[in-house]
Amino acid sequence: MKTILITGGSGLVGRALTEKLINKGYQVVWLSRKIDLNAPIPRYYWDYKTNKIDEEPLRKTDVIIHLAGENIGAGRWTNKRKETIIESRVNTTKLLFETLKKINKKPEVFISASAVGIYGNNINEKIYTEADQSETNDFLTQVCEKWENSADKLGEELGCRTVKIRTSMVISPESEAFRKMLLPIKLSVGSPIGSGNQYVSWIHIDDLCQIYMKAVEDETMSGAYNAVGSEHITNKKFMETFAKVMQKPFFFPNIPSFAMRILMGESADLVLGGSRISNEKLTSSNFTFQYQTAESALQQAVLALNKNR
């Protein structure tokens, strides 16, 4: 069976994806800042800040899944943090490219994470497809464009198939975003954010992992794909649905946009904007989503959270 190298393997998506790949018989190794070759998932060293990387796993790998990147939603977007967010995506890809070129290694496929933030934070009724460009030039758009350009360069220069998974908010009991939304609802103070009219693009962790696995196995997959659930749902309806799943009341007024700006600064863009995103390119390639509605995805996540307590 093939060997798959994952960067960012210890993150939310990396852990879940690794488990599913191993269960299917793949050999999985991680690139990490902590070496542990005897761990159940061998961890080889790399550090893009010092431009150091262990070449051994790259020589042996068949597929590279590049998930590494500073958590965009972990704090305020200071100028320094913005640089780190971009560099942790672009410079890591560059290090992989330069090393693969040096050792004359071409993976069968290079699969890179990306995000639906590439479409900007407009609130409108347009349904964005992979062929659309952003109508804004906000920070999220800039990050995603540079992120994807670096992946495209690697694929073009090495001559390998390249897939970019434009991920939306991940619904999982292990997700930080999920837990942040869960707390106020659990306390019966859940409410819409901002106008509440912005759309929430979402995907269940199981469906996201299956998309990555399809990208590994389906040689016809190439380019960008929107990893979003099929249901287009506004923030107000999403939070109301979450409260329904939790069997909690939902009557508090909207949290004003200015309050979110004070609390989060520019990073409030993550929750105050959002349009509808199409997943037709995926469904047209014979991919079937297990979770067709936000309610079914939230129900599973809440059930799994309660089960693990």
What length is written for the chain?
309
Q: Judging by DSSP bridges, how do beta strands 233-234 and 199-200 pair with one another?
A: antiparallel
Q: Are 230 and 37 within 8 A, CB to CB?
A: no
Which residues, including other chains, have CB under 8 Å from residue 286's CB and lie 6 or more apart?
none
99-152 confidence digits (pLDDT tens): 999 999 999 999 999 999 999 888 888 899 999 987 778 889 999 999 999 999
Considering the entire predicted model, what is its pTM? 0.94
Answer whether residue 217 shows pLDDT above 70: yes
Residue 136 vs residues 87, 105, 139: alpha-carbon distances, Å: 21, 38, 9
Q: Judging by DSSP bridges, how do beta strands 52-53 and 276-277 pair with one another?
A: unpaired
Answer whether residue 308 shows pLDDT above 80: no
The structural domains of the chain, ordered by start, are 3-236+261-307 (3.40.50.720)
